[in-house]
Amino acid sequence: MLSLPSRTKMFLCMNPVDMRKSFDGLFGIVREEFQQDPLSGHLFLFVNKRRDRMKAIFWDDDGFVIWYKRLEVGTWQLPGSTSTTLELEAHELAMILRGIDLKSARRRARYQQPVAV
């Protein structure tokens, strides 16, 4: 189980990444592709070309952490996007990791507090 602070943003790189990359290689991609500061504390996700491996990197107050997952069967269904990076919400990442296609999942109506004028 991966536990992150609620303020943590999650970004997915839509371009395939060489999974041999480690801290420094992923650090460079965060700067180049995401145009983000790797020390921001946000979670940055990368998948390989076959979409059966995923790496995540984030700054954890005193050092970088890499999380790596390899699927034995199947692939991840990533959201369709024309951009090279995509910001995800926590529930979207959870659905991707569980193998749920985001296109077929529907969000049910919920109450939203009116905007104050």
pTM for the structure as a whole = 0.81
Helix (H, G, I), strand (E, B) or coil at 50: coil
Could you tell me the residue ranges of all domains in the chain? 10-98
List pLDDT tens digits, range 42-93: 999 999 999 999 999 998 888 999 999 999 999 988 887 777 889 998 888 8
Helix (H) or strand (E) holding 28: helix 23-29
Stated as kind and residue range, the H or E segment containing 88 is strand 85-88
Q: Which three-class secondary structure state does DSSP give residue 29?
A: helix
Sign of CA dihedral 21, 72, 76, 106: negative
Segment (H or E) for 45? strand 43-47
Q: For the segment 81-97, what is each residue's pLDDT rounded down to a tens digit?
A: 777 889 998 888 888 88
